[in-house]
């Protein structure tokens, strides 16, 4: 197939979250399977200028309709492999910013125009460069308008799209692209699209809803999350639209993969010592390195728990703080936490570190890559008590390194982590209700298995390290999704 993949970010060019990981890895996996994939995204000078990308083609006068006139943009083509190319849209007025979507916690006031331009430019590129896509794959609200455009009078009748179907992937439904309704003038679409079956959402414009209602197939990044967002609790008011598409058989969940070459304990140059499922001696060296680096007593017998997370309501780190109040006082455990975000939570974790310096180390900020890999490799357990988690990647990174995840039973965490007592081989620990006692009990359960049932503990590590989370598996499911979009 010819696949036009439209995204606001992709590894290694620009990243704020899991969308970039998917947009960097899945197109490459699809291209390796013989599909011709074109990734279309903005060019962000402040994030990408230092990468020294060697473009194969450059177009200085690429015209894109916006606000009833033509905006002249640059377009740069990077051919990564025979079947995979990246088209970067350069328009410094919109994309030359210190951060991708916001600054000092405030979204840019022209985000509607910025991503209308991205979606419209992707459609124009498909026409002018004769990409003739079989699939336009839009991602989140930033490119959801591509699905609307494909059905609109602007593009539906063009020869270039005669065999084109659209797919919209929802990576996190908490972000929808909601703007005042007068922004419809920027889209080039008429007011007939501002209705409850398309873009209208409580008398405002909702880009994600427009994509949901017009895409040929809609998917989320895990099967459980696809079910959860049908309920008001998880849908951020999008459940009516999603239930409508689900009843049509047009909603699906596909679990993300991870880069198994980058996250490979046997060949990882970032960690102090490598190891395999059959020989975990290097993992103990990694654990000692963490204990030394963070000023914790070097002890083999104590369970070491790690977490790397945004300090946000979604991630349940407030409940973890309450649980640690109890655990640090009563239990023989060690914790290392990297995170930033909620200032009140940061203060609370700093307080815990000051009062329990031999048990808890906290650092406010982002963990560098080398340290992230070492934490995943050296910890015994990885904590993810999320309120909701569309997919989650850290639990899969952890399992690759034999670090058993402790997760709340939600979204992709429920789909990837199997607790003891199930038919499938266990790979971690889960709890259902997000309250302090439940998390405390699950952490103690994990520590008890490690101490008193070493046979089960070692088998769980082996199961986790040998589970298949490769993008090749995921790509197979996306191929089926694309085929169903054409039915």
**E strands present in 122-273:** 135-139, 165-170, 178-180, 200-201, 204-206, 217-220, 251-253
The predicted-structure confidence for 208-235, as pLDDT tens digits, reads as follows 999 999 999 999 999 999 999 999 999 9
Are 95 and 43 in contact, with CB atoms under 8 Å apart? yes
Domains and CATH numbers, the chain: 2-257+472-485 (3.40.50.2000), 281-468 (3.40.50.2000)
Percent of the chain with pLDDT over 90: 93
- Kindly report the pTM of this predicted structure: 0.91
Please report, in angstroms and rounded to a whole number, the separation of the first and last CA atoms in the chain.
15
Long-range own/partner contacts, residues 186-190 (CB < 8 A, 24 or more apart)? 186/66, 186/67, 186/112, 186/113, 186/116, 187/116, 187/120, 187/145, 187/148, 188/65, 188/66, 188/68, 188/120, 188/154, 189/148, 189/149, 189/152, 189/154
Shortest CA distance to 210 belongs to which of 196, 220, 231?
196
**Mean per-residue pLDDT over the chain, rounded:** 96
The predicted-structure confidence for 336-353, as pLDDT tens digits, reads as follows 999 888 899 999 999 999
105 pLDDT higher than 80 = no
Give the pLDDT confidence score for residue 151 in this predicted structure: 97
Task: Residue 96: count other Cβ atoms within 10 Å of its Cβ.
Answer: 15
HEC string of 402-429? CCEEEEECCHHHHHHCCCCCCCCCCCCE
Output the CA–CA distances (angstroms, integers) from residue 323 to 296, 309, 329, 409, 437, in the order listed.
20, 16, 10, 17, 7
Output the CA–CA distances (angstroms, integers) from residue 414 to 225, 255, 391, in the order listed.
9, 11, 9
276 pLDDT higher than 80 = yes
């Amino acid at each position: 197939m010819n696949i036009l993949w439209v995204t606001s970010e992709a590894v290694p060019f620009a990243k704020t979250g899991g969308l970039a990981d998917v947009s960097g890895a899945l197109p490459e996996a699809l291209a390796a399977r013989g599909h011709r994939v074109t990734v279309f995204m903005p060019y962000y000078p402040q994030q990408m200028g230092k990468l020294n990308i060697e473009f194969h083609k450059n177009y200085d006068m690429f015209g894109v309709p916006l606000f009833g006139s033509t905006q002249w943009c640059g377009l740069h083509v990077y051919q990564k492999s025979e079947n995979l190319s990246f088209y970067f849209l350069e328009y410094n007025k919109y994309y030359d910013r210190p951060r991708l979507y916001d600054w000092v916690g405030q979204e840019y006031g022209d985000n509607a125009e910025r991503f209308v331009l991205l979606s419209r430019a992707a459609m124009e590129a498909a026409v002018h460069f004769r990409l003739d896509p079989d699939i336009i794959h839009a991602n989140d609200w930033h490119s959801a308008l591509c699905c609307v455009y494909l059905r609109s009078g602007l593009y539906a009748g063009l020869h270039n799209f005669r065999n084109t179907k659209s797919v919209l992937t929802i990576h996190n439904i908490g972000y929808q692209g909601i703007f005042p309704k007068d922004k419809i003038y920027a889209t080039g679409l008429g007011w007939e699209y501002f209705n409850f079956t398309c873009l209208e959402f409580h008398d405002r414009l909702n880009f994600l809803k427009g994509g949901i209602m017009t895409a040929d197939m809609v998917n989320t990044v895990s099967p459980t999350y696809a079910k959860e967002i049908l309920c008001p609790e998880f849908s951020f008011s999008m459940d009516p639209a999603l239930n409508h598409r689900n009843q049509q058989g047009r909603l699906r969940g596909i679990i993300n993969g991870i880069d198994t070459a980058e996250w490979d304990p046997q060949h990882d140059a970032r960690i102090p010592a490598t190891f395999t499922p059959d020989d975990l001696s290097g993992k103990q060296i990694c654990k000692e390195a963490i204990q030394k680096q963070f000023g914790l007593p070097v002890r083999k017998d104590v369970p070491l728990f790690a977490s790397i997370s945004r300090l946000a309501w979604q991630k349940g780190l407030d409940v973890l703080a309450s649980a640690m109040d109890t655990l640090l006082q009563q239990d023989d455990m060690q914790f290392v936490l990297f995170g930033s975000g909620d200032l009140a939570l940061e203060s609370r974790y700093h307080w815990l570190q000051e009062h329990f310096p031999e048990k808890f180390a906290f650092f406010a900020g982002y963990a560098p890559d080398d340290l992230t890999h070492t934490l995943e490799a050296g910890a015994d357990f990885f904590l993810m008590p999320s309120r909701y988690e569309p997919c989650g990647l850290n639990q899969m990174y952890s399992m690759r390194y034999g670090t058993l995840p402790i997760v709340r039973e939600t979204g992709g965490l429920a789909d990837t982590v199997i607790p003891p007592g199930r038919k499938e081989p266990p790979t971690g620990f889960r709890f259902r209700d997000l309250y302090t006692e439940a998390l405390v009990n699950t952490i103690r359960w994990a520590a008890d298995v490690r101490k008193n049932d070493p046979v089960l503990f070692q088998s769980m590590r082996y199961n986790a390290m040998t589970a298949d989370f490769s993008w090749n598996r995921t790509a197979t499911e996306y191929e089926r999704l694309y085929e169903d979009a054409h039915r």
